[in-house]
A and B are shown apart, each in its own frame.
Chain A
């Protein structure tokens, strides 16, 4: 058994073997549930050649591999989340065997149960806001320039740089205030909220400067009300473009303190 491990997808409260029988794990391995201390971890067997420390170091650089594993992980988490409160695990969390999984459940059962209580009956929504205004100084700065010949080229350059920097700071401040305002308004109807790091536009493929990458934990019953609130904000803030996504499993709201 030295060459296999138990890959963890999610932790939930009860045995869900039968309910998960329609889903498969990574590499089409069957899912199983490891129970301990009133918790149930959804796992499947993975080969350590691929998912061991060395294998992961190589494969994680491979986008196609990463996507395949992330999608498979998400499919199992989503299937589990459809059955009850679910704490998703981080990608590529692997224990040596099921006994090691039980040890982890034992060690972490208090914070895990607290996390499950927090997300029960709730789903995650994502709202991103984009500022259409250029963050860099693109407005002509000619007016700030001294008349030709009145100053040396070096001094003129420095003045220009200073004016550009001030303008960037102003634009940044406006965007930060707008992001704060939107996040506060979206957090009000949510049970919990988090700000994730804004995404690089090359990755998101979305146009504009992302000023807010917000995650909101919302009661299932309040989902449509939350979307309406986001749409209302979108109408009242024509200076920002909002991208509303969800509902998803509560990925952003189960983080435990490092053990």
Chain B
């Protein structure tokens, strides 16, 4: 799965979770255990940074594959 597919293609089956839905859940919810080393994503600030980075990446990839059908070329 490429970034272009993430943004342009629905998942093939309803039970297959899309990356966006997965990150929604893996970054925003789930059990929080304070680890000895780092709980990298417990802080809201960090999640926002990540999602901003994600948006930037998606846009860059879309720009790059613009004009090609469904991001097929990047596979």
A interface residues, Cβ below 8 angstroms from B: 5, 8, 11, 48, 52-53, 56-57, 60-61, 63-64, 66-67, 70-71, 73-74, 87-96, 100, 104, 108, 112, 115, 126, 194, 196-197, 199-200, 202-206, 213, 215, 244-248, 251-256, 258-259
Docked-complex contact B19 and A115, CB < 8 angstroms: no
**Minimum CB–CB distance for A67 against chain B, Å:** 6
- A197 and B20 CA atoms in complex are apart in Å by 12
Whether B33 pairs with A67 at a CB distance below 8 angstroms is no
Q: Which residues of B contact A (CB under 8 A)?
A: 1, 3, 6-11, 14-15, 17-42, 46, 50-51, 53-55, 57-59
Please, how many angstroms separate the alpha-carbon atoms of A30 and B19 in the complex?
Answer: 24
Q: Which residues of B contact A112 (CB under 8 A)?
A: 31
Partner of B26, one of A48, A74, A196, A199: A74
Closest Cβ of chain A to B17, distance in Å, is 6
Indicate if the CB atoms of B35 and A245 lie closer than 8 Å. no
For B37, give its contact among A53, A199, A204 (CB under 8 Å).
Answer: A53
Given the interface pairs A52-B37, A196-B24, the reply to whether A90 lies near B54 with Cβ below 8 Å is: no
Contacts of A60 in B (CB 8 A): 40-41, 46, 50, 53
Nearest neighbor of B11 in chain A, beta-carbon distance: A245
B46 to chain A: which residues have CB within 8 Å? 60
Q: In the complex, what distance in Å separates the CA atom of A51 from the CA atom of B30?
A: 19
Can you spell out 20 A-B residue pairs with CB atoms less than 8 angstroms apart?
A: A8-B33, A57-B40, A66-B23, A70-B26, A90-B27, A90-B30, A92-B38, A95-B35, A96-B36, A196-B25, A196-B28, A202-B55, A202-B59, A205-B8, A205-B9, A245-B14, A251-B29, A254-B29, A254-B31, A255-B32
A-chain residues with CB within 8 Å of residue B55 when the two chains form the complex? 200, 202-203
A-B interface, 4 closest residue pairs, ranked by CB to CB distance from nearest: A251-B25, A90-B30, A96-B36, A91-B26
Specify the chain B residue showing the minimal Cβ separation from A128. B21
Interface contact tally, CB-CB below 8 A: 165
| Interface contacts beyond A52-B37, A205-B6, A244-B14: sample of 7 additional A-B pairs, CB < 8 Å, sorted by A | A53-B37, A53-B40, A73-B26, A89-B33, A197-B28, A254-B31, A259-B34
- CB < 8 Å: which of B20, B26, B41, B50 contacts A61? B50
**How far does the Cβ of B30 sit from chain A's closest Cβ, in whole Å?**
4
Cβ 8 A contact of A100, one of B27, B30, B36:
B36
On whether the beta carbons of A92 and B41 are closer than 8 Å, the reply is yes
B38–A52 contact, CB under 8 A? yes
Which of B31, B51, B54 is within 8 Å of A11, CB to CB? B31
Q: How far is the CA of A255 from the CA of B18 in the complex (A)?
A: 21
Contact B33 A202, beta carbon cutoff 8 Å:
no
